[in-house]
Amino acid sequence: MNLEDYRTVFFVSSLIMILIASVPMLRLFLPFCTGERFSELWILGPGHMAEGYPFNVKADEAYKVYLGVGNHMGGLEYYRVYVKFRNQTEPLPDTLNGTPSVLDPVFEYDVFLRDNETWEEEVSFSFEEVSFQGNACWVSELVIDSYVLNVDKVTVWDEKNKGFYFQLFFELWIYNVKASSFQYHNRFVGIWLNMTRSL
């Protein structure tokens, strides 16, 4: 090799070393692909599995599920989960338009999660002041985690499915810093409940 070849090898090697050393600094100024960003929302049954959910329920008995949220948004997020209770004719969230149910929440959970962190909470619930008259069932109070909540819901006998059906569901909202408010995050989960008479 002659002197010119050594200079070329030295120049190329130096350039490669400079590029390798500057990669950490480039990360500060150039966005790198981080993959898909999303949040999770789930309910597990009392056995901590995706089965065995409460279904046939009655007044003054306690039931439980596990509610969970997972953050894969790339940074710290502030979530709010609204708990809502409906009869079978009231509206659910509209997933096509990304709009929440118009029903008022009866309870809420607030949680901060770092990226790739999850939160899970045991949710206990029961019903009080349940009455039946003819083909109608009234639920006056829903108890969640020992908080007594006035719900005043009525449903009528479903002849096809043979029951008095209500639904307990959970909507995921996320805090938008620019808007300084929570916004519906287009995720919800719920369980159907058939209210039965106590013997």
pLDDT for 129 equals 96
From the number of C-beta atoms within 10 Å of its C-beta (0-12, 13-18, 19+), residue 26 rates as exposed
**How many Å is the Cα radius of gyration of the chain?**
26
From the number of C-beta atoms within 10 Å of its C-beta (0-12, 13-18, 19+), residue 21 rates as exposed
Tens digit of pLDDT for each residue in 149-185? 999 999 999 999 999 999 999 999 999 999 999 999 9
What DSSP string runs through 69-84?
EEEESSS-EEEEEEEE
H/E element holding 175? strand 165-176
Q: How far apart are CA 194 and CA 171, in angstroms?
A: 21
Spans of the chain below 50 pLDDT: none
Q: Are strands 77-87 and 165-176 parallel, antiparallel or unpaired?
A: antiparallel
Q: How far apart are CA 157 and CA 159, in angstroms?
A: 6
Strand partners, 124: 64
> Which pTM value belongs to this model?
0.81
